[in-house]
């Protein structure tokens, strides 16, 4: 059994919620979690409660972005060779675009 911990509002997180996903959904979820810089628990909780997932730039997020850009480039080269675009790739590209747009806005305020 995992240890109970406190959330940001000083409430005990003592309840466990579990559900099943397909291997493809799990892969996509892991990708989105790594791009967010949050823990999987925090990412899922925020998404389920319709709260914003605000990405804070840090070395882990930058590495995840770099890896995902490489993977997207590989997929785009595959598509150029004549195969179609799948929904999961488009979801990943949309998330990466939103993250990069947010980073651009943050850097504009920093000048």
> Cα–Cα distance between 36 and 99 in angstroms, integer?
8
pLDDT band at 111; cut points 50, 70, 90? very low
- For the chain, the average pLDDT equals 81
pTM (predicted TM-score): 0.59
Strands (E), the chain: 5-6, 12-13
Q: What is the mean pLDDT of residues 13-32?
A: 91
Residue written as tokens 């979820």?
29
Q: What is the mean pLDDT of residues 34-62?
A: 86
List C-alpha distances in Å: 57 to 31, 45, 62, 83, 101: 16, 20, 7, 34, 12
- Predicted local confidence at residue 2, as pLDDT: 58
List C-alpha distances in Å: 104 to 35, 46, 65, 89: 16, 23, 14, 22
pLDDT band at 107; cut points 50, 70, 90? low
């Amino acid at each position: 059994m995992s240890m109970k911990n406190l959330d940001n509002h000083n409430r005990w997180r003592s309840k466990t919620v579990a559900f099943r996903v397909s291997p493809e959904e799990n892969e996509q979820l892991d990708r989105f979690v790594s791009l967010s810089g949050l823990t999987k628990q925090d990412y899922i909780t925020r998404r389920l409660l319709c709260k914003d997932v605000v990405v804070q730039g840090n070395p882990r997020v930058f590495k995840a972005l770099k890896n995902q850009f490489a993977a997207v480039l590989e997929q785009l080269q595959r598509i150029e060779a004549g195969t179609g675009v799948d929904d999961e790739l488009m979801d990943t590209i949309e998330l990466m675009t939103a993250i990069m747009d947010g980073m651009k806005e943050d850097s504009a305020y920093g000048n």
